[in-house]
Amino acid sequence: MEKIRDLRYGENPHQLAAWYAESRQGFGAAAVHQGKELSFTNLLDLDAAARIALEFDDQPAAVVIKHTNPCGVATGGSLVEAYVRARDADPLSAFGGIVGLNRPIDVDTARALASTFIEAVVAPSLTDAAAVLEILKLKPNLRVVTATFDGLDDQRDARSILGSWLVQARDRVTETAAAWPAGETPRVVTKRAPLPEEWQALRFAWRVCAHVKSNSVIFTGADATIAVGAGQMSRVDAVNAAIMKAGDRLRGSVAASDAFFPFRDGLDAIAAAGATAIVQPGGSVKDAAVIAAADEHGLAMVFTGRRHFRH
């Protein structure tokens, strides 16, 4: 690999770190327009933001990341609308976050970015670069990065473990390529099928949930996250973490779980929170009990047949 630069340090100040490129694509060809030097954790978070933003190539989308997990994701009729809604999904957590955008930063979006304390933003390009940078320089420490990710669909992901490397194909949420319902996937397993607005929300939730650290359960509307329960050691704890964040705002939402429910307790907690529909992979030996619980609560539930663990 080609060394791009040394980094000030790694995840912590006592760790040496550097940035390398396997090819002149993606972050290997990124342009940094302003701001403080990028850190090791900035780059990890920018990557997490870009991966989610790329799921929504059909409409403007914005992602706010904290510690590689999304605290807000939204789509909108314009990029600035998507960004403001993503930021406001969890404004407390968004403070000091990393932003990913799937459209060029325009003047309106630049103004919204400058009104928020964020550490870095990545987007495909800048619209009217001089005007946009004139606004963003009001936040001189804000790292503004542009990068495109065309041709990276088949990229491998590699991670080091002690004394060796693990390599895998990049996870793609291909089952959401078409609007839901579509063909055999996902499959309705409850007595009640999702309503049209629930189908839209379930597809949105599934695209986001796949990029949240496991165990994860998230709650969303049709085009914005409401609460993200990330990285818990049990699935019901992931549900409860999301409930703690949003409370009554979860009424009328939908939920997504990155892997199956091993017991019905997680499903019961989702119903108690006020969600009306859920998407999950299915495949548990307790599926029948979980489906029965959903029917008891009047929930619509669909199985995708594919899990999306993220470790």
Is it the case that residue 154 has pLDDT exceeding 70? no
Q: How many domains does the chain have?
A: 2
Q: Residue 117 has what pLDDT?
A: 97
Tell me whether residue 202 is in a domain.
Answer: yes
Tell me whether residue 62 is in a domain.
Answer: yes
Helices 107-114/79-89 angle, 10° precision: 20
Q: Which stretches within 137-234 are classed as H helix? A: 196-209
Give the pLDDT band of residue 3 (cuts 50, 70, 90): very high
Q: Residue 47 has what pLDDT?
A: 97
This prediction has a pTM of 0.96
Same domain, 96 and 180: no
Closest CA to 83 of 69, 65, 232: 65
Take residue 96 and report the two structure tokens written for it. 């000091």
Same domain, 123 and 234: no
Same domain, 299 and 192: yes
Is it the case that residue 153 has pLDDT exceeding 70? no
Q: CATH number of the domain that 284 lies in?
A: 3.40.140.20
Tell me whether residue 42 is in a domain.
Answer: yes
Spatial separation of the C-alpha atoms in residues 124 and 104, rounded to whole Å: 5
Could you tell me which residue, 192 or 184, shows the higher pLDDT? 192
